[in-house]
Amino acid sequence: MPNNETHFGAPRSRVDGRLKVTGAAKYAGEFIAPDLAHGYVVSGAIAKGRIAAIDTAEAEKVPGVLRIFTHRNRPTTAWLNRSYRDAVAPPGAPFRPLYDENIVYSGQPVALVVAESFEAARDAAALVRVTYESAPHETNLRNRLAEAYVPPKERAGIDPPPNPRGDAGAAYAAAPAKVESGYHVAPEHHNPMEPHASTVVWEGDGKLIIHDKIQGAQNTHDYVTSVFSLPQKDVRVLSPFVGGAFGSGLRPQYQLFLAVMASLELKRSVRVVLTRDQMFTFGYRPDTIQTLALGANPDGRLQAIRHEAIAGTSPFEDYQEVVVNWSGLAYHCDNVDLKYRLAKIDTYTPLDMRAPGAPLGMFALESGMDELAHALKLDPLELRLRNYAEMDQNTGKQFSSKELRAAYQLGAERFGWARRNPAPRSMREGHELIGWGMATGVWEAGMQQASARATLTADGRLEVATATADIGTGTYTILTQIGADAFGLRMEDVTARIGDSSLPASPIEGGSWTAASAGSAVQAACYAVRETLFRYARRMENSPLANADSDHVLFAEGRIALLNDPSRFVTIADAMRAGGVDRIEQEETTAPDKGALSRFSPYTHAAVFVEVRVDEELGAVRVTRVVDAIAAGRIINPKTARSQIIGGVVFGLGMALTEESMLDHRLGRFMNHNLAEYHVPANADIREIDVLFVEEDENRTNPLGVKGLGEIGIVGTAAAVANAVFHATGKRIRELPITIDKLLD
Amino acid sequence: MPVNPATPGVAAAPSAGSSPVAHHTITLTVNGTQRRMEVAPWTTLLDLLREQMELTGTKKGCDHGQCGACTVLVNGQRINSCLALAVSKDGAEVVTVEGLAMDGTLHPVQAAFIEQDAFQCGYCTPGQICSAVGLLKEGHARNADEIRELMSGNICRCGAYPNIVAAIEQAMQQAGGSAR
């Protein structure tokens, strides 16, 4: 059946916009329940050791305190590690809050105070006295490099580095031009604006409704039912709005465990909200130390790439992400050797953070490419074009589509790249040095199996439903667009329902795969409803569509009309009447095409161009202009799509210039655990960000032809900033963030 | 004004259960409705709004005055409600994000935020909007650079800043001011 595309590709305002600008959108810590009790977490003070004693007597005297949970009085929960492993857990033994007296990282929750009011719980929490026996800890990754290991068990969905190809060692030794350096990006914390929170509503008789900050309600549902051995049907998880997550909400966090535990024990509703400080007491972007070597011919053609990364992980889990593999697929090179290893430090397990691994690995690769271009006196963009990868050499597959050349060209034109004087320190205005840098971005364009339900009623209203989330990405809006187009409806006739574990199964919202996964499922469900309705319409008495086949009709304005004669039509209401129904509800499941994926590699690409101004005396860096040209297949909603890229770029600017979670290795603790000392970009840090989407025909890996946008915006950005800083100052900074001290050094 | 009248049971409930600490009676005009409240001396204006008055449009992002998510208008001025003890605001007029729309019509700043896609997750949005309304009233921002500077107390982790600036410029132009 031909599709109406009124909304697909059109800039639509967010359908949840009104709820968000009026304060009516409710987040996890804002739902209420009769008799709601408040939990406050007591955080541990040492990095490693054991709790020798815990004295709650003073705290219990605080009026309003209901119960103080510690490892000594916690209820029994599931025995096996696998019961605690959520949908995206890496291999290992997941952390169990209040499990025993052992302390395995600084900030570990050691008690939960539950009281009648938030203030009483907070007050009492300050009176819990914990005595520790410390053990030696190590949080400095550099001191553990000698013990680095290849993870014995791979994390699902994370490809290990490909086998070496060619002979990178010999090719590097023989290459006339070489660069080799170490690179480091500081650990970062996600810091969504909404602190992690869970409101557990006790419905009586062991039944719970849980409002959780999570990027997939079903992940929370499955974790809770598994850990607390609850019947599937007794738990329903709702997360209609998620106040940012960026990966921090992929895994259920400890406040969920504590709130559920307290609710089940007290048989009443309990809310636990973490403080901003406590937002630094779980996952983070891992400390990763890299070395990169590039060998090239004088014309710039790459002869050898060696890229190695060692990343920190916790004592209890082997967190893994893709850091070095990008170096094997971003450019053509026949001699490539990539290595990725882990080393254990005494922190919590790292956690996927926006484009996990990619901005780290691409920072090294794209800095190295810039160094190589400078060494060879080649334009950095020209060097990249000379090494353009026509296929994914890591797997030997063709790209499903790749319009990176067009992105380079359009981005360069918009930026004015051709006017760049290649010499560092060649542009200046007053006391500021001006630099232009660029970099390539690449991220996977995934699709996961997902199910969705579409319900059309005789009044011409449509509901589409799937258990995915909208963490600010615009999922509500694009699912509404897809549904509206299937039936030629107005946006306001369509309701998208998500963020509810009872809806048809959907994967966690992550990996930039939601548009392709949930979107395809919604479209399939709508098409199924459409076929049913068309069948009814044809068999209506004297139906003008009686002899039409589905390729010759169009759904529009509440009707099914003949394509070549729109005056001949059947209304939705009449068709339903003919079928003897007043609603049609169908559920469909879509999954990636394994055949296509065996032949094609789906990736999203970006070409990022950045202008910086560096105060020569103060060393302060301002990013005054960014052009990000994106090749990401078809764009469902240019308005929300642009916002996704802008958001990714801002994340990248933070990584480049300001964000750094600082560990004090003597205490083994992240010290700048607040938003005054952990610097996420503020409004005044951000100037023009120009986003371009290039035409890209993607018809191989998902029915919608989309690739996802949540992550590609960050990937090349930090490298482009560092390259621009080099162009401005002549200083090559290989350790992010580029703070003033590094430039005045 | 789209405001619910005070619910006596809620308003009178002491915030710390059976706490013996003396509660203070204060009068606040919140979104146009005058309410008498019993508050504990340690209760912040933010917690009073969110926990006792169920006005959860005002957000808690850091509770330290560092992120601006809790911005409300007190006597017309934008403040961080997490840094204000409720007892210190006796007699004040408070406007939260819930009180900006009139009879179902969005405030021009709210409408501009939707039109310019000036938010993603929406959590910092009420604070951004209240801050922008305060900014317009102050009349200090004359161009985009000044908007950026004077809106830097409100962090948006989704990075919607360029669109926030565009939305404020739009609202400013509608109000007859100059933004560029």
User: Looking at the structure, do residues A60 and A120 belong to the same domain, yes or no?
Assistant: yes
Tokens standing for residue B128 = 């951004």
Question: What's the confidence (pLDDT) of residue A142?
Answer: 98
Strand A583-590 to A600-601 pairing: unpaired
C-alpha A343/C-alpha A315 separation (Å) is 9
Residues A78, A198, single domain; the answer is yes
Partner residue facing B160 (CB), from A18, A473, A647? A647
pLDDT at B20: 59
A422 vs A373: CA distance, rounded Å: 10
d(CA A154, CA A162) in angstroms, rounded, equals: 13
- Which option is the CATH number for B108-174: 1.10.1040.10, 1.10.150.120, 3.40.50.620, 3.20.20.70? 1.10.150.120
Q: Are A389 and A486 part of one and the same domain?
A: no
Are both A656 and A514 inside the same structural domain? no
What mean pLDDT do residues A510-516 have?
95
- Which pLDDT score, from 0 to 100, does residue A5 have? 86
User: Rounded to an integer, what distance in angstroms lies between the CA atom of residue A9 and that of residue A482?
Assistant: 10
Residue A1 has pLDDT above 90, yes or no: no
Catalytic residue among A366, A444, A698, A711: A711
B17 has pLDDT over 70: no
Q: Give the whole-angstrom CA distance, residue B79 versus residue B71.
A: 5
**Would the pLDDT of B15 be above 50?**
no
Are residues A200 and A177 part of one domain? Answer: no
Residue A2 lies in a domain: no
Are A586 and A723 members of one domain? no
Contacts of residue B121 in chain A, CB cutoff 8 Å?
Answer: 192-194, 241-245, 471-472
Q: What 3-state DSSP class applies to B77?
A: strand
Task: Return the C-alpha torsion angle A393, A395, A398, A399, nearest 10.
Answer: -90
B175 near A CB under 8 A = no
> Where does a domain end: A574, A591, A608?
A591
A557 assigned to some structural domain: yes
Q: Over the stretch A529-588, which tens digit does the pLDDT of each residue have?
A: 999 999 999 999 999 999 999 899 999 988 999 999 999 999 999 999 999 999 999 999
What is the number of other CB atoms lying within 10 angstroms of the CB of residue A203? 15
B41 C-beta neighbours (distance < 10 Å), count: 13
Note whether residue A578 is domain-resident. yes
> pLDDT at position B2, please?
37
ipTM above 0.85, yes or no: yes
- Fill in the amino acid letter for A192: P
CB A297, CB A280: distance < 8 Å: no
Q: Which residues of B touch A691 (CB under 8 A)?
A: none
The amino acid sitting at A359 is P
Q: Where does chain B hold its CATH 1.10.150.120 domain(s)? A: 108-174
Which SS3 state, helix, strand or coil, does residue A121 take?
A: helix
A397-399 β-sheet, strand order:
A391-392, A397-399, A600-601
pLDDT at B7: 39
What CATH number has the domain bearing residue A560?
3.30.365.10
pLDDT, residue B36, reads 96
pLDDT tens for residues A196-224? 999 999 999 999 999 999 999 999 999 99
Please list every residue in chain A whose beta carbon sits closer than 8 Å to the beta carbon of residue B51: 117-118
Does position B8 have pLDDT exceeding 70, yes or no? no
According to the model, what pLDDT value does residue A557 have?
87
Q: Is the pLDDT of residue A227 over 60?
A: yes
CB nearest B123 (choices: A32, A193, A273): A193
A642–chain B Cβ distance below 8 A for any pair:
yes
* A643 contacts on B by Cβ (under 8 Å): 117, 120, 158, 160, 163
Q: What is the mean pLDDT of residues A498-517?
A: 96
- CA torsion angle A585 A586 A587 A592 (round to 10): -140
**B9: pLDDT strictly greater than 50:** no
Q: Do A22 and B158 touch (CB under 8 A)?
A: no
Counted domains in chain A: 3
Q: Read off the pLDDT of each residue in A22-44 and give the average, rounded to a whole number.
A: 97
A339 lies in some domain: yes
Residues A312-330 pLDDT 10s: 999 999 999 999 999 999 9
Average pLDDT over residues A665-685: 98
Pair A607, A525 in one domain = no
Contact: B110, A243; criterion CB under 8 Å: no
Three-state secondary structure of A15-82: CCHHHHHCCCCCCHHHCCCCCCEEEEEEECCCCCEEEEEEECHHHHCCCCEEEEECCCCCCCCCCCHH
pLDDT at residue number A460: 95
A437 and A375 housed in the same domain: yes
Give residue-wise pLDDT tens across range B81-109: 999 999 999 999 999 999 999 999 999 99
Percent of chain A at pLDDT exceeding 90: 98
Of the candidate CATH numbers 1.10.10.10, 3.10.20.30, 3.30.460.20, 3.10.20.310, the domain formed by B8-99 belongs to 3.10.20.30
The pLDDT of residue A264 is above 60: yes
Q: Is B11's pLDDT higher than 60?
A: no
Where are any strands of DSSP class E within A223-327?
235-238, 270-273, 288-296, 302-313
Same domain membership, residue A153 and residue A77: no
Residue A693 main-chain phi, psi, to 5 deg? -110, 125
Residues 6+ apart with CB under 8 A from A518: A450, A452, A466, A468, A475, A479, A498, A506
Judge whether B37 and B66 are in contact, CB under 8 Å.
no
Q: Are residues A262 and A330 in the same domain?
A: no
Query: Which residue out of B55, B120, B147 would a mutagenesis test of the A interface target, given it has the greatest number of A Cβ atoms within 10 Å?
Result: B120
Domain closes at, from A528, A562, A591: A591
Q: What's residue B1's pLDDT?
A: 36
Residue with tokens 């205005």: A429
Domain with A62, as residue range(s), is 31-136+193-245+249-280
A552 and A566, same structural domain?
A: yes
- pLDDT value of residue B177: 55
Residue A171 shares a structural domain with residue A306: yes
